C-alpha cells in the first residue's frame, strides 16, 4: 500500500496516510462518517525528504496497513514547527478542501509580480495566522517576513492573498459592499496607513483568523523563505464555474465555507 505525506495548514501538522490526496481531503474535512465539517488546506510532500527534526523516517513503520488490510487514514507525525522544517524542494501540489469535502487541486505556477505597486491583503496560514495589509507584492512579502536580520521574522511562511476590490486603488473612498470582511472600518484604516507610509510597510488587520472564504482569494496561495517562493494560482472564476463546478458551488455556500 502506498504511503503519502501531507503538510496541513489548518491546523499545522505533518500527517502520513495511505490515502491519495483526493481521498485524504474528503476524510480530513468530513471525517469517517461524514459528520465533521471543517475546511482543509494541505500540501502533498515528497515522502522521501530527509529531516533531523521531523520523524519522517518512521513513515513506513507507522503506516503499515491494519490487520484487516484497511489503510491508515491519518498518522500524525508532528504538530509543532512543521512548516519551517520542510525543505522547499519537498513541496508538491496544494489541495484546498471545502467543509463538505469538495477537493480542488492546485499546481505550482510561474509568478509574475504586478506591474504597478498597490495595496495587498494577506491571510497568513502558517506558522501564524494574522491578516495583514501590505504594500509589498507576495515575493517581497516572503523575503521581508523571513529575513533573519529583522527582529520579528519566521523561517518560512505560507499565505494567500485576498481581494480588496475598489480598496486596492482607493482605500479611503472605495466601495466595500461586496467585501466579506469583518470590521471594515479598521481594514480601511490599516490600508490607508500602509499606503501613506509606503516603503516596506505592513500592518496587522486582525491578530488571528480561524477561517476565510475561498471565494475571497485574489490570485492564489504562496509558500516561501528568502528568495525561494512557490506560487499556486487559483483558477479564474470562469474556470471554476466550467471545470470545477461542484467545488465552486460548495465554496460559495455557507456550508462549504
- For residue 37, the model assigns a pLDDT of 73
pLDDT of residue 243: 97
Res 210 pLDDT > 90: no
Q: Say whether pLDDT at 2 is over 90.
A: yes
Q: C-alpha cell of 255?
A: 456550508
pLDDT tens, 143-174?
999 999 999 999 999 999 999 999 999 999 99
Which of the two residues, 211 and 227, has the higher pLDDT score?
227
pLDDT tier for residue 33 given thresholds of 50, 70 and 90: low
**Residue 25 DSSP one-character state:** H
State the pLDDT confidence band at 256, using cuts at 50, 70 and 90.
very low
**Interval 124-150 mean pLDDT:** 96
User: Is the N-terminal amide bond of 127 cis, ω within 30° of 0?
Assistant: yes
* Residue 196: half-sphere exposure toward Cβ, Cα within 13 Å: 9
Dist CA 38 CA 211 (whole Å):
9
Mean pLDDT of the chain: 92
Q: Which residue has the higher pLDDT, 225 or 69?
A: 225
| Bridge partners of residue 73, in order along the sequence | none
pTM of the full structure: 0.94
Q: Assign 182 a pLDDT band (cuts: 50, 70, 90).
A: confident
pLDDT of residue 34: 56
Q: Which 8-state DSSP code applies to residue 43?
A: E
- Alpha carbon 7 to its chain centroid, in Å, reads 11
Kindly indicate the confidence band of residue 38, based on its pLDDT and cuts at 50, 70 and 90.
Answer: confident
pLDDT beyond 60 at 20:
yes
Q: How far, in Å, are 12, 146, 155 from residue 152 at the CA level?
A: 20, 9, 10
Comparing 29 with 66, the larger pLDDT belongs to 29
Cα–Cα distances in Å, from 90 out to 85, 86, 93, 98, 109? Answer: 10, 7, 10, 25, 16
pLDDT band, very low/low/confident/very high, at 103 (cuts 50, 70, 90): very high
Q: What's the whole-number mean pLDDT along residues 242-249?
A: 96
Amino acid at each position: 500500500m502506498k504511503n503519502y505525506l501531507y503538510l496541513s495548514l489548518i491546523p499545522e501538522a505533518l500527517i502520513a496516510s495511505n490515502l491519495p490526496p483526493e481521498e485524504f481531503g474528503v476524510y480530513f474535512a468530513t471525517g469517517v462518517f461524514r459528520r465533521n465539517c471543517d475546511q482543509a488546506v494541505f500540501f502533498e510532500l515528497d515522502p522521501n525528504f530527509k529531516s533531523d527534526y521531523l520523524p519522517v523516517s518512521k513513515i513506513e513503520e507507522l503506516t503499515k496497513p491494519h490487520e484487516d488490510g484497511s489503510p491508515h487514514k491519518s498518522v500524525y507525525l508532528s504538530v509543532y514547527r512543521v512548516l519551517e522544517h520542510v525543505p522547499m524542494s519537498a513541496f508538491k501540489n496544494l489541495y484546498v478542501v471545502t467543509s463538505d469535502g469538495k477537493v480542488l487541486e492546485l499546481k505550482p505556477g510561474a509568478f509574475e509580480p504586478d506591474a504597478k505597486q498597490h495595496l495587498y491583503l494577506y491571510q497568513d496560514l502558517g506558522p501564524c495566522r494574522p491578516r495583514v495589509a501590505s504594500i509589498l507584492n507576495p515575493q517581497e512579502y516572503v523575503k521581508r517576513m523571513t529575513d533573519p536580520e529583522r527582529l520579528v521574522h519566521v523561517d518560512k511562511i505560507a499565505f494567500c492573498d485576498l481581494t480588496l476590490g475598489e480598496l486596492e486603488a482607493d482605500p479611503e473612498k472605495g466601495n466595500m459592499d461586496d467585501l466579506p470582511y469583518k470590521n471594515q472600518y479598521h481594514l480601511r484604516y490599516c490600508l490607508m496607513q500602509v499606503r501613506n507610509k509606503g516603503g516596506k510597510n505592513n500592518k496587522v488587520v486582525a491578530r488571528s483568523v480561524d477561517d476565510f472564504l475561498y471565494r475571497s482569494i485574489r490570485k492564489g496561495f504562496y509558500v516561501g523563505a528568502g528568495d525561494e517562493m512557490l506560487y499556486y494560482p487559483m483558477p479564474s472564476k470562469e474556470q471554476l464555474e466550467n471545470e470545477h463546478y461542484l467545488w465552486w458551488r460548495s465554496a460559495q455556500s455557507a456550508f462549504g465555507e
